[in-house]
Amino acid sequence: MTGLVIEAATEHVEVAIVSPDGVLAHLIEEVGHGQTRRLTPLVQEAFAIAGRGPRDLGWVAADLGPGSFTGVRVGLATARAFALAAGARVVGASSLAALAHAAPARKALVIPLVGAGRRDVYAGFFRADTRGKVSLLAAPRVVAAESLVALVAEAHAMLPELTLRFVGPGAGRERERLEAAYPTSTALAFRHGGLSALDLAAAARHPGGPGAGLPAEGHEADPVYVRSAQAEERVRHAALLATPVSVRPMTAADVPAVAEAERRTFSDAWSESYFRSLLDQPGGWTRVAERQGQMAGYLIASVQEPVCDLENVAVLPAHRRCGVASALLADLYGYCRQSGAREVLLEVRASNDGAQALYRSHGFRLAGLRRGYYRAPDEDALLMACPVPARPASDAPSH
């Protein structure tokens, strides 16, 4: 089937029309901040060159980000409009995954980099095996350029046997810094000039799924922003102040609701009977968070001094980004201090961006990798670790 490809996540815009016979049209333009003004004319020009029209389309691919907020949104909106007109499906891939899957790397830790404004960069983390098969290693991050080397060192420590390969326009921009820390790491010089519509087309139609850093079924057109817009953050902070969260022990009466939330949240959900078995487990810590009188989340952990194993934590969709997980973790840290645990360990899916961002905000760092650990869908597990924080000043006994 004929496809339209829209790569508009940065100031470097590419539009392509592809078919089973090859590339029928491929246009490239440096638009600056003019995606809104220039994208549709470029698509129309590509149709004219290819001798095709919207009705010929079977699919439309768009870059899901990260990149320019405007570029990602305009690209997706344009893709959806043409797909609607054609009765075609919309597919997509992140800019970072498209770079990683196209890079000619073997037995390497592949770090795609895309500019994030000012001196920041978006960084992806992938591993390529000896055959070049690419798997997701960890969630993408946005980081100041001067902190990039330290961030990469944390990931590289998990797989020190792999060669480092930086690719993408951000790698070209930061080449001097990266070469000083990791000589020859930018030697591929891959896509330093900008993102590619042809890379995007291949990644968007790749069947790898979340384990490869690609969208899960049903989420082929969900944007990947990595960082929130400022307006969204202001709303979230206001919600935090307005709706306090309380944490209490989980009881048998909570278990049906907890198990239902588990089924809605995780593809490999724990059963109701398993939750019941945990309530009286020695060293166990089973907690429920409430917000505005409703169950908002839950946490399961166990302590075998000096380590606490954080086994399960979830926040119900209506209560996310309102401080629920933070309250549960603060409560857990208090239990760890009482029990003599000095470190908290956990496992998380490599594709679970939200959970990894939350854990990092609470001091967790990458500690190891378990390949093929998860099923449904298959993907790696990241091990993360955090020293138990000292007692907050507000919790210290008064004199």
> What pLDDT shows up at residue 393?
46
> What pTM value is reported for the model?
0.91
Whole-angstrom CA distances from 11 to 2, 139, 246, 262 are 26, 24, 46, 41
The domain locations on the chain are 2-93, 96-187, 230-395
Architecture of domain 2-93 in this structure: 2-Layer Sandwich (3.30)
Does this chain's domain 2-93 share its CATH topology with 230-395?
no
Per-residue pLDDT of the chain (399 residues; tens, 9 = 90+): 899 999 999 999 999 999 999 999 999 999 999 999 999 999 999 999 999 999 999 999 999 999 999 999 999 999 999 999 999 999 999 999 999 999 999 999 999 999 998 889 999 999 999 999 999 999 999 999 999 999 999 999 999 999 999 999 999 999 999 999 999 999 999 999 999 999 999 999 999 999 999 999 999 999 999 987 655 556 655 655 567 899 999 999 999 999 999 999 888 899 999 999 999 899 999 999 999 889 999 999 999 989 999 999 999 998 888 889 999 999 999 999 999 999 999 999 999 998 999 999 999 999 999 999 998 888 999 999 999 998 764 544 333
For residues 284 and 238, what is the distance between their CA atoms, to the nearest angstrom?
34
Q: Which two tokens stand for residue 29?
A: 């333009």
Q: Which amino acid is at 309?
A: D
Task: Give pLDDT, residue 241.
Answer: 56
Give the whole-angstrom CA distance, residue 151 versus residue 138: 12
CATH of span 230-395: 3.40.630.30
Distance in angstroms between the alpha carbons of the first and the last residue of the chain: 75
Three-state SS sequence of 51-116: CCCHHHEEEEEEECCCCCHHHHHHHHHHHHHHHHHHCCEEEEECHHHHHHHHCCCCCEEEEEEEEC
Tell me what pLDDT residue 57 has: 97
User: What is the structure's pLDDT at 398?
Assistant: 34
CATH code: domain 96-187 is 3.30.420
Cα(246)–Cα(265) distance, rounded to whole angstroms? 21
